[in-house]
């Protein structure tokens, strides 16, 4: 980042939705020296619990790629988190998605990591139901404003 003088490396964050949310978690869990804050929306924290049709297309079968599934799961690296994290999640009807969120929250608590979370019960992946637009648009940017002034963030 030093090649870009307009970037303050001490106040850099990331946000992402779905796969980008997963990358945001990887950013703060694995590269806390670079990313100081993150917002992850509708993410997957454990690869083996995700939709097998999608996941296996790119990663092969879990039994054939155990290391890949483990390393590709933000849950594996949550213990390394040292930045300020915000986690937003659309809780959808499938137990798998709810479980993905709860497993990550439990792992962060287990390692005494502070984080914020906003849950949207009974919403789908896009969190569009029941007049949630003000919450979807306001909460994440309020989080960044409170944590890091003049934050430069990257959309993954």
> Following DSSP, what letter does each residue of 49-111 receive, concatenated?
GS-HHHHHHHH--GGG-HHHHHHT-HHHHGGG--SEEEEEEEE-SSHHHHHHHHHHHHHHHHT
> What confidence category does residue 8 fall into, taking pLDDT thresholds of 50, 70 and 90?
confident
Name residues whose C-beta falls within 8 Å of residue 7's C-beta, 6 or more positions apart in sequence.
1, 152
Q: Tell me the pLDDT tens digit for each residue of 36-45.
A: 888 888 888 8
Q: Give pLDDT, residue 62.
A: 92
Closest CA relative to residue 150, chosen from 19, 8, 3 = 8
Q: Tell me the pLDDT tens digit for each residue of 53-68.
A: 878 898 999 999 999 9
> What confidence category does residue 116 fall into, taking pLDDT thresholds of 50, 70 and 90?
confident
Integer Cα distance of 113 and 136 in angstroms: 24
CB atoms within 10 A of CB 39: 27
Predicted confidence (pLDDT) at residue 7 exceeds the cutoff of 90: no
Domains and CATH numbers, the chain: 9-155 (3.40.50.1820)
Q: Can you tell me whether residue 77 is helix, strand or coil?
A: helix
pLDDT cut 70: percent of the chain above it: 66
């Amino acid at each position: 980042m030093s090649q870009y003088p307009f970037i303050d490396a001490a106040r850099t964050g990331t946000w992402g939705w779905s796969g980008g949310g997963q990358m945001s978690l990887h950013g703060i869990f694995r590269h806390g020296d670079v990313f100081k804050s993150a917002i992850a929306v509708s993410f997957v924290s454990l690869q083996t619990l995700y939709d097998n049709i999608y996941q296996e297309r790119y990663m092969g079968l879990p039994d054939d790629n155990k290391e890949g599934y483990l390393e590709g799961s933000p849950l594996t690296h949550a213990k390394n988190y040292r930045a300020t994290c915000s986690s937003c999640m659309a809780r959808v009807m499938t137990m798998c998605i709810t479980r993905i969120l709860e497993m990550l929250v439990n792992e962060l608590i287990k390692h005494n990591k502070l984080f914020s979370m906003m849950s949207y019960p009974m919403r789908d992946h896009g969190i569009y139901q029941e007049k949630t637009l003000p919450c979807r648009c306001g909460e994440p940017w309020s989080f960044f404003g409170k944590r890091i002034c003049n934050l430069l963030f990257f959309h993954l």
